[in-house]
Amino acid sequence: AVVIASDDALLADDLADLFSTPNFRVFTSKDVVGVEIGGAVKNVIALAAGMCEGLGLGTNAMSGLVTRGCAEMRRLGLALGARPSTLAGLS
């Protein structure tokens, strides 16, 4: 699944219809900043999680990293004008 973010809801809906298939779901959002922040920061968290796994740091370290990473993503998003609900979901 992916998210198309645009201030233009009609454009986002048209693009979602164009790219959606029975096996590929496309969601839309008007929160462009939130989708950009969530999409970028989640990749950084994923890289760090892979490093935790590779270093054998265990599930507690991974849990702490993901929890703090999500909290920092939310703080950054709010500071830049994103909606909290966008950062809590698929973005």
Catalytic residues: 42
The structure tokens 């454009």 sit at 11
**Residue 40 to residues 10, 34, 43, Cα–Cα distance (Å):** 25, 10, 6
Please, are residues 46 and 65 in contact by the beta-carbon 8 Å criterion?
A: no
